[in-house]
Structure 1
Amino acid sequence: MRTLTAILALSATPALAAGDKPFFSLANTDFVVTIGFLVFVGVLLKYKVPALIGKLLDNRAAQIKAELDEARSLRDEAKALLSSYEKKQKEVQEQSERIVASAKEEAMAAAEQAKADLKKSIARRVAAAEDQIASAEASAIREVRERAIAVAVAAAGDVLAKQMTAEGAAASIDAAIGQVEAKLH
């Protein structure tokens, strides 16, 4: 009731400013609007609209609080997930660095092995070439000796043929036959 009195007192002040018409008359539009407003407020209060609005606001506040709590939990979960991903990224980075270092070491070892294999191959080829050179040299020396022997035999044959008489040839043949007989028996 006090509230209604306060509302009427506050609303009556501008209505009295209408001037020539009495305030409590249905001909005064300000009075009709004030009565309509008071009826509207009364209907709202009778059907407990402020309580419904309060309940709706409380529900909305609870819903917002739940959403905020969910957002906080999602944020915490995202932080945990982010930290785990950062940890995994760091582990992967370290692992990749180890793999690169290992690959470099293996490449260095392979390069050293290739150098050693190349040196061995070169040494084998040099030895084979030296063997071929020695073989060719020995073959050339043998050919020169054989050729020298053939030339010497031919020259000796020519010299003997020019110096030899029929009697000397027969005596040489007999001596050679005697030497062969002595060696065979």
Structure 2
Amino acid sequence: MIYEAEFWVAVAFVIFVLGLLKLGAHRTVTGALDDRTARIRAELDEAKRLREEAQALLAEYQRRRAEAEREADDIVATAKAEGERLQAEAKTKVEEFVARRTQMAETKIAQAEAQAIADVRNAAADAAVAAAETILVDTVKGKVAGKLIADGIKDLKARLN
């Protein structure tokens, strides 16, 4: 057994491990492992904190988005109501405009009709006066005839106008 290589490898290994323990290598290794554990724990804590912040930020942005959607819906509803109001107002104005234009057209037509009637009366009066003058000139002669004609013409014009 003493001559076997495995025995001496085992003895060397035990001596090596005892030497490491004597030099305090186990404290260095455990310290390094503890430091690494602490560093990993700190990273995990930081990751957890960052995740919570991200979730809070996400919730804030979702709230803002919902608020913006509500505001957009309100704006659309207001714009729609305003459009309907403007449409009704425009319709009323157009109806009033058409009524005014119709009234103005009817007034102009009535004035033109009255003017046409007056023109026809004047033309008829002038024609009647001319005819009466011609008839009276042919039938009545002298100064009396001229005076009668003039008085008749004035009287006729006054009556017909």
Normalising by structure 1, we get a TM-score of 0.71
Select which of 105, 113, 116 maps to 1:129.
Answer: 105
Whether 2:70 is the aligned partner of 1:69: answer no
- The sequence identity of aligned pairs, in percent, is 40
The 5-angstrom pairing of residues 1-185 of structure 1 reads 23-24=2-3, 37-38=13-14, 40-169=16-145, 172=148, 176=151
- Describe the shift of the 1:137–1:50 C-alpha distance in structure 2 as closer, same or farther (beyond 3 A): same
**More moved, 82-91 vs 148-157:** 82-91
RMSD: 2.3
Gaps of 5+ in 1: 1-15, 17-22, 177-185
- Describe the shift of the 1:39–1:159 C-alpha distance in structure 2 as closer, same or farther (beyond 3 A): same
Gaps of 5+ in 2: 152-161
CA distance in 1, matches of 2:74, 2:61: 20
- Describe the shift of the 1:56–1:131 C-alpha distance in structure 2 as closer, same or farther (beyond 3 A): same
CA distance in 1, matches of 2:92, 2:13: 107
The count of residues paired between Structure 1 and Structure 2 equals: 151
**More moved, 107-116 vs 31-40:** 31-40
**More moved, 137-146 vs 160-169:** 160-169
CA distance in 1, matches of 2:74, 2:39: 51
How far does residue 38 in structure 1 lie from its aligned partner after superposition? 4.7
CA distance in 2, matches of 1:112, 1:139: 40
Q: Deviations over 1:108-160 (max 9, x none)?
A: 11111111111100001101111111111111111111111111111111111
How far does residue 31 in structure 1 lie from its aligned partner after superposition? 6.4
Moved over 6 A (4+): none
How far does residue 43 in structure 1 lie from its aligned partner after superposition? 4.1
Structure 2 residue identity aligned to 1:157: E
DSSP 3-state at the match of 2:47: helix
- In terms of fraction of residues, the more helix-rich structure is 2
CA distance in 1, matches of 2:29, 2:86: 82
- Describe the shift of the 1:33–1:73 C-alpha distance in structure 2 as closer, same or farther (beyond 3 A): same
- Structure scoring higher RCO (CA < 8 A, sep ≥ 6) equals 2
CA distance in 2, matches of 1:32, 1:161: 177
Rg larger for: 1
